[in-house]
Chains A and B, each alone.
Chain A
């Protein structure tokens, strides 16, 4: 992104190639995210259709906890912002600050996954697992898919944190951080859908 602001003339052949590669990969990754958006949208549609299919089992109103959903929402939103701060420090070339913001983002994301796993475990323990009803199958598939994405994002943060520490903020590492940022912000958008379609209407 910042590369676009530099004057083209001052770039060597090699630097220009690296920028082209970066832009191609950013576009390819964007296409992947659009495909992921389609997957999430269809899981949302499936969930919405399955809401009445509780088979006499527990409903969302009995199972969901508004406080838990609110805390998860806050954690993910703050982590999206702290990842933004990491991206700004990448542009500023400040390696230590990048690592610090990535670490904070990781902790927030890990807390989110912890709360989600605890919620799932609690539901399964009271007999409301994904095998109980169509509604619960759809719930675990949708929310679980999002949770798996966040977990993958956490692993990715660790890998890129290690690269920043070992290799420094080289062009390829900065390019990878940019794509991880797209992924992480995208997950927060998917979560907006989850609390707006699953938790809030469920508890209304």
Chain B
């Protein structure tokens, strides 16, 4: 039985994920608290930190990777990402275009 070693490995995974998530949450919150950067830059940092944090959660908490995760799970995830891109991107495209036309 390899349980102790497996557990140590699992524990490390959760702790690394936790520390990274704390940093990736603290930075955007701190920027909004202090207004240390201009709003546009802060928005950019919030967006980048959010994407990175989602990846951290997938990797260290949900243990998604390209070796041990079943391929169909990864495929479902990638397909969902594609759907989100089409639906969210499409909604924004249509609504902002409509907004611009209404304003004219």
Contact = CB atoms under 8 A, between A and B. Distances in A.
Whether chain B is bound by chain A comes out as yes
Interface of A: 1-2, 4-5, 23, 27, 30-31, 34, 37-38, 41-42, 44-46, 48-49, 66, 69-70, 73-74, 77-78, 80-81, 84-85, 87-88, 91-92, 182, 185-186, 188-189, 192-193, 195-197, 200-201, 203-204
B84 A88 contact: no
A192 B68 CA distance: 26
Contacts of B54: 189, 192-193
B88 A44 contact: yes
Contact of A203 (B18, B32, B61, B95): B32
Contacts of A182: 62
B14 A85 contact: yes
A125 B7 CA distance: 48
Given A85-B14, A188-B61, A200-B28, A27 B84 contact: no
Interface in B57-90: 57-58, 61-63, 68, 70, 72-73, 76-77, 79-80, 83-84, 87-88
Interface in B2-18: 2-3, 6-7, 10-11, 13-15, 17-18
Task: Across the A-B interface, give the 7 residue pairs with the lowest CB-CB distance, nearest first.
Answer: A196-B50, A84-B14, A34-B80, A185-B61, A45-B91, A41-B84, A45-B88
A44 B80 CA distance: 15
A2 B57 contact: no
